[in-house]
Chain A
Amino acid sequence: MLARNSIRELRHRPLRTLLTVAGVAVSTAMLADMLMLGGGIQQSFGDLLESRGYELRVSPSGTIPFDTEATIPGFARLRDSIAGVAGVERVAPVLAMSVSVEVEDGGGDGSRDSRRTLALGLDPGNRSLYGLVDGDAPGMGEAVPDSRLAGELGVRLGGRLRLATASGFGTWGRTASVRVAGTGDFVFATARDMPVAVPLGDLQALSELEDQVSFAMIRVRAGYDPEVVRDAIAVLASRVEVVTLAGISEKLDERLSYFRQLAVILGSVSLFVAALLIGTITAVSVSERLGVIAAVRAIGVARRRIVGDLTAESVVLCVVGGGIGIGLAVVVAGYLESILADFPGLPVAVRFFVLRPESLATAYGLVIASGAVAGLVPALRATGLEVTTLLHREEP
């Protein structure tokens, strides 16, 4: 009955209710977004890494893939050793080099732009770093440029590209002519980088880095613990680092710790603001009804029932406001993501705000719980007063 009265009170004061719901909605949206931001990038990057199906990375000590141009020399021997480790299913080496690329024959529209990009030397058939948009994987003397790069250069399937190492002034460095076998979608490419995939041997020859790779990806057989396999590989070479996908994610997370810290601070502030708003509204609402509360207690209605019904009012505000806030959070996350999409050095596929049901549920639950607590405090205070004192105050 009291709860029914409370709900009707909310409808009776539409402006107050509307503003409170709006306040809770904005706070919930902010909290949910901060929860999405807090663990989003780590999960997004982790998902991206896992989607390629290789559980370990072997890279020169102190680096992470694509971090520097450091290489692992004498890789053929190391590769044989790694392949011999129990639990290793496949070793996929990658050589990443900065190159200049231009259309050799002027391209389809006669353009002759050159640009610096990243060349990825991969084993034939290794498509772990890109998906084919068009054509086939590159064979010897062939390349698969990023589809955006192909578009920018105006090159078509079967066209020819000239790749050049970045060193040497006045003339090209070492150059190679390659046929465009296909175009690809490079999962680790940043908005600015538009890589080109070539056979590993071709890139090693071009860059004079025979038997060297930037890193290698290791696929672990089902049933083997990646961490155990990692430890077994780590002892094979002293100057390489073997990291699990979680380890790489953690390193990235360390670099972007600012966003996590911001998420914690803003999330906490949002929750506090929501609780403060609900607490204020409930406190005012309760003080307006002290007479009724006193009378109902005098009649003999149990205190816990009155407290429960008064708290229900704040919970209803949070349930409604929080629900709207969750929808708002999705919209705001999209907007904030569009701003952070320009963040340099991150793969396009990595997202700062990952729409996770648990983030939304946590935000919703936290707002409702904080609203319940914020409502509970004034309700307990009001019903904890002496009934006779209240009646003396309310009756003339």
Chain B
Amino acid sequence: MQIAERTEWNLLATPLVAFLLLCLGFPAVVNLVYSVSDISFATLRSPTLSGFGNFAAVLSDGAFWRANWFSLRFGLLTAALECALGLFLAIFLAPLFKERSWPLAILMLPLMVAPALVGLMYRLVLHEFAGPVPHYLWQWFGNSPAFLGPNSAFWTLIVVETLQWTPFAFLLFHMAYHAIPDEVREAASIDGANAWQRLFRVELPLMLPTIAVALLIRFIDGFRVFDNVYVLTGSGAGGSTASLSIYIYEAFFKQGAIGKAVAASVLLFLASFAILYGLNMLARRKKK
């Protein structure tokens, strides 16, 4: 009876596990094999083992480290900005959402638009002849910077990403803030806490786990950014805006350097696995 039941549970989960093994497990193996192989589009099906040459090539490639550095800075900066702005909006605007929720829908709207399309929209917004931003800057200040030129591209991309995803952080904080029971706030007031003390001593500490989660999610999304950066600058601006995702994509599709692209994928996989494993361990220890 027990064994039969066990089998039935396993059967129910089998399709998903099989699907993931086929679509992710197999590719992971292909990655590993190809990363230590001599491979080109001509020899795609018959890789010959060649040791760690691909890894050496990636690790000695200046563009790989520049891409890492871009992704790291981009992820950290956008996560910090999005969470700071989102936290401010969630707390300062909280009374507005008490009786009505349509303002929430307006702030959430950017989350529904494809990041690739948002990137394309900014091509229009920032265009020197057709875009309103340069138009008004010329009109008001008689000058407008080259937003996507080598000097400003990084900061333009930071603003683009931050404006689209601040609503995500805002939303998480909004829900965490409203999940704090009213009794807790009342108790703090009765104890003589003023609004600021209540915010810093009671509300923010209660929201801390959500803040940590939001920072993490936004950092990961910023680190692996592809869509909006790709359509706005490509690796453009002298390669200064190539994220790690763009580096891998271009190594494969533009240069045909399969070995290098695959080796970089494996390195990225190991790094994300190590970070996620560490975080899970940390979370588990906290629960105990």
User: Are A and B part of the same complex?
Assistant: no
Residues of B that sit less than 8 Å from A by CB? none
Residues of A that sit less than 8 Å from B by CB? none
